Structure 1
Amino acid sequence: MDVLERADDRQGVVHMEVGEPDFSLPAAAADAAVAAVRGGDDDYTSSRGTAGLRDAISDYYDETYGVDVPPSRILVTPGSSAGLLLAMLALVDPGDDVVLTDPYYACYPNFVRQAGGNIVTTKLDPRTGFAPDIQGFENAVSRDTAAMLVNSPANPTGAVLSDSELGELAALSRRTDTPIISDEVYHGLTYDGDDHTVLEYTEDAIVLDGVSKRYAMTGYRVGWMVLPPGLVDPINRLAQNLVICAPAPSQAAAEAAIRADHGWLDDVRDQYRQRRDRLVDAADDWGLSMDYTPGGAYYLLLDVSDLPGDAFDVADVFLDAGVAMTPGPDFGSVAEDTLRASYATSTEQIELAIERISGLLEEDPTLAD
C-alpha cells in the first residue's frame, strides 16, 4: 500500500504492486448492481446474506466441484478479509498458534494477532516452486495449534495445492483435530488443471472465497464463508455485531456474476496465462528468475538478492524507473530478497514495464548510483 500511494503521486507508473484486475466485471453483474440501486434495493440484508446469493453460491459448489454445500452453511461477508477476521475470532484464543506457510499473504499475521494468536510458519522452498509441504504442516502443528491457514492458488507465489495434497491436509486435520481455514479467493484463476476445494475432502474446514479476484469486482466487497455446521451460529453472531452485512446492491451483482456464462472467465484466464508466460520469460532475461512458473493467481516473485541494497531499495529504484512492485519482506522470511510482480495489469502495461526494467538493467546492470 505504501508503494501504491507513492506510485499514485507520479505520472505514468505501471502498477504491478497490487492485485487489481484490469478487466471489466461481467456485464450481467454491472446490470444487476444498477437495477438494484434504481429499484431501491439499499436496505440491510440478513447478516448471512441474501437467499438468492447463497443459493447461487451453493449451486456454484455443486457445479464446479461436485460438492453439496447447503445455503445454511454459507455466510456472506463484506469481502473475504472480513471472513478471515471472523474465522480467527471464532477459532483462536489468546496464546493459541496458527500455522501459515512462508511466504504468506502479507495481512495473514495481522488477522492472527487481532485474535491474540501466535504465528507459526512452515517454510516453502523456491526450488520446488513454493509447493505446499504437508510434512511441514505436520511438523508445525502442536497441542497449542488453533488452526492451519492455507491459500491456494497462493498470494504471493501463485503456487497451487493439488487434489492429493488437499486430501493429505484434510487427513492431518482429522488426525490432529486441527481446523483448516482455506483461502480460495483465487479459485477460477488456475492455469494448469482444475481447481479443487478442501470441501471435497472434509466439511469441517472453513472456506473463504469471493467475487473480487476472478470476477474483477474488488470494490464491490462481497466474499463468503462456507462453515462447518457447528460454527454457523457462533460466526453469524460475530458477523451481526462486527460487520452487519455486505452491501445489498453488491450482493445482487455477485449473484449475477456467479450465475453468468463462465465463458467470460475462460477468456480472462487465457489472457492471464499469456501475461504470466511473458513475465516469466522476462524475469529469466533479467536474471531475476526464481526458476518457477506460478500455477495460479496473478503474481510472480522475482529474486533481487544479487542487486544492491535490500528489496525495499530495489523497489525504489524500479519505481523511479516507472514500475511499481511490492517488496517481499512483508510476505515472510523466505520472500525477504524478492519483489512481487502482479500481472493483473494489462498486457500493454506489462510490455511497458518490461521495456523499462530491461532498459534500466542494460544501462546499469548493478543498479549502482
Structure 2
Amino acid sequence: MPSERATDTTPFAAMDVLERASERDGVVHMEVGEPDFRPPEAATEAAVAALRAGDDDYTSSRGTASLRDAISEHYADTYGVDVPAERIIVTPGSSPALLLAMLSSVEPGEEVVLTNPHYACYPNFVRLADGRVSTVDLDPEDGFEPSVSAYEAVVDDDTAAMLLNSPANPTGAVTSGDTLAGLVDLAERTDTTVVSDEVYHGLAFDAEEHSVLEYTDDAFVLDGVSKRYGMTGWRLGWVVCPPSHVEAVNRIAQNALICAPSFVQAGAEAAIRGGTDWLDDVREDYAERRDLLLEAAERWGFDLGYTPEGAYYLLLDVSELGDAFDVADVFLEDAGVAMTPGPDFGEGATDYLRASFATSTEDVREAIERIDALLATTTT
C-alpha cells in the first residue's frame, strides 16, 4: 500500500488540465506557465557544444563551479548583494530546491506559513517534510500583496518557516521592499526560517522587485532559468542557502538528486552570463496581454478587484457562473480554452480560475474571442 505521505499528496490541477487539453486539437493553453519565447541562443549553443564535447558526466552535487560563480555574479549585479558561490546548490529545477529547503529546515509536526492563495504545490512540499500548513489570507483589494501585520497574527516562536513568493503565482502580486524587510524582522524575532521563491524575478512590469537577500543572509532563496529565460523543460534551478544550512542541504542533494545534468548547467551558465536586456520586450508583451485580459474580464463580469504587477497570471472570479471546476470544464470543452481551477491554489482562490498569459498575444486574443462567443450563447 502507498504510504500516508504519498496518498496525502494531491494532484496538480494545472497538469491535469494540460493532460486533458493536450488530447484536443486547437486548444488555447492558458493553464500552465509556459513562456512563448525561445531560450537565449547562447544557452542552446552552449548545451549542444557541451554534449558534442562529451560533457555529460556527473558534476559535483553542488553544481559546476563556473555556473555557481555566474549565479553569484547575478546576485551582485542585480541586487547589489554578496552571495558566495559556496552557498549556492544547483538543482534539476527549482521544485527540488524547495524540497531541499523544506527537508533542511522543518522538523516533523512543525508549522510552515504560506499565503492564501499560494502556488498549488507548496502544501505538498510541506507535507513531504512532515510539516503542517498554516496560512495568511490575502485580500484582492490590497492587490493580494501580503502585509506584515497579517503575518504577525500567525507567525510565532513555534513557526519553523515562512514561504514567500514574489512575483507570485497565482496572483501576479509583487511584494514591496518595505514588506520584505518587515517580514525578515518578524522572522528574526520569532527564529523563523525564511524561504523565498523568486523564480518569477525579472518578470515584474508595474513594480520594483526585491530579493529577500537584500535584507538578510539567513534565508533560503529559490530560483532558476525556467521562467525568465524560457527554459522550462531544461529543469535547472538553484537554492541559495543560509550559511548554517549549506552542508546539510548538500548532503540531502548528494543522496536524492546526485546532480543536475552537466550539459544543461553549461546552457544555464551561458543564459545567465548573457544578461536579460531582451526581457524589456517580453515584459512589454506580458503587460499588453494582461491588459487585454483585464478589459475582457470587466466585460464578462469577472470582477478581479486588482491588477497583477508581475509574473504572467491573473485570477478571474467566475463565481457568478458556478463552481470553478465546472466553469473550467465548460471553457475547455465548449470554447477550447484551458484554464486552471482556482481551488488548487487554496481556499482564497475557490471562486477563481487562474489564467496564464505566458502564451502569445495572438492566443490571448483568440481565447478572449472564444469566451466572448461562449458567454454570448449562455446568457441569451
Relative to the length of structure 1, the TM-score reads 0.97
* Displacement after TM superposition at 1:289 (Å): 2.7
The gaps in structure 2 that reach 5 residues or longer are: 1-14
The gaps in structure 1 that reach 5 residues or longer are: none
Find out whether 1:244 has 2:258 as its counterpart.
yes
Whether the 8 Å CA contact 1:96–1:145 is kept in 2: the answer is: yes
Q: For each residue in 1:295-348, what CA deviation from the matched residue of structure 2 results, as whole angstroms up to 9, or x when unmatched?
A: 11000100011113x100000000011000000001000100100000000111
The whole-number CA distance in structure 1 between the counterparts of 2:98 and 2:214 is: 20
Q: For each residue in 1:88-107, what CA deviation from the matched residue of structure 2 results, as whole angstroms up to 9, or x when unmatched?
A: 11111111000000000000
The whole-number CA distance in structure 2 between the counterparts of 1:251 and 1:159 is: 30
Find out whether 1:316 has 2:329 as its counterpart.
yes
* Displacement after TM superposition at 1:236 (Å): 0.3
Find out whether 1:353 has 2:367 as its counterpart.
yes
* Corresponding residue SS for 1:350: helix
Whether the 8 Å CA contact 1:102–1:332 is kept in 2: the answer is: yes
Find out whether 1:185 has 2:203 as its counterpart.
no
The whole-number CA distance in structure 1 between the counterparts of 2:171 and 2:129 is: 26
Give the root-mean-square deviation of aligned CA atoms.
1.0
Q: Decide which of 40, 59, 80 is 1:26's aligned counterpart.
A: 40
Which residue is 2:285 aligned to? 271
The whole-number CA distance in structure 1 between the counterparts of 2:115 and 2:250 is: 28
Q: For each residue in 1:33-63, what CA deviation from the matched residue of structure 2 results, as whole angstroms up to 9, or x when unmatched?
A: 1111111110011100011110110110010
* Displacement after TM superposition at 1:365 (Å): 2.4
The whole-number CA distance in structure 1 between the counterparts of 2:219 and 2:19 is: 36
Letter in 2 for 1:84: L
Whether the 8 Å CA contact 2:159–2:190 is kept in 1: the answer is: no
Which residue is 1:146 aligned to? 160
* Corresponding residue SS for 1:168: helix
* 1:107-122 alignment, distance < 5 Å: 107-122=121-136
Which residue is 2:30 aligned to? 16
Q: Which 4+ residue blocks in structure 1 deviate beyond 4 angstroms? A: none
Which residue is 2:80 aligned to? 66
Which residue is 2:5 aligned to? none
Letter in 2 for 1:318: F
* Corresponding residue SS for 1:315: helix
The whole-number CA distance in structure 2 between the counterparts of 1:51 and 1:358 is: 52
The whole-number CA distance in structure 2 between the counterparts of 1:358 and 1:70 is: 52
The whole-number CA distance in structure 2 between the counterparts of 1:130 and 1:314 is: 23
Which residue is 1:45 aligned to? 59
Letter in 1 for 2:68: R
Letter in 1 for 2:123: P
Whether the 8 Å CA contact 1:311–1:339 is kept in 2: the answer is: yes
Which residue is 2:344 aligned to? 330
Letter in 2 for 1:203: D
* 1:197-276 alignment, distance < 5 Å: 197-276=211-290
The whole-number CA distance in structure 1 between the counterparts of 2:66 and 2:314 is: 36
* Displacement after TM superposition at 1:267 (Å): 1.6
* Corresponding residue SS for 2:207: coil
Which residue is 1:137 aligned to? 151
* Displacement after TM superposition at 1:262 (Å): 2.0
* Corresponding residue SS for 2:156: coil
* Displacement after TM superposition at 1:264 (Å): 1.7
* Corresponding residue SS for 1:362: helix
The whole-number CA distance in structure 2 between the counterparts of 1:291 and 1:235 is: 41
Letter in 2 for 1:112: V
Whether the 8 Å CA contact 1:280–1:289 is kept in 2: the answer is: no
Which residue is 1:296 aligned to? 310
Letter in 1 for 2:72: S
The whole-number CA distance in structure 2 between the counterparts of 1:194 and 1:69 is: 21
The whole-number CA distance in structure 1 between the counterparts of 2:44 and 2:182 is: 40
Q: Decide which of 138, 163, 166 is 2:177's aligned counterpart.
A: 163
* Displacement after TM superposition at 1:276 (Å): 1.2
Structure-2 change in CA distance of 1:147 and 1:186 (3 Å): same
* Displacement after TM superposition at 1:273 (Å): 1.4
Whether the 8 Å CA contact 2:174–2:207 is kept in 1: the answer is: no
Whether the 8 Å CA contact 1:26–1:264 is kept in 2: the answer is: no
Relative to the length of structure 2, the TM-score reads 0.95
The whole-number CA distance in structure 1 between the counterparts of 2:227 and 2:270 is: 15
* Corresponding residue SS for 2:278: helix
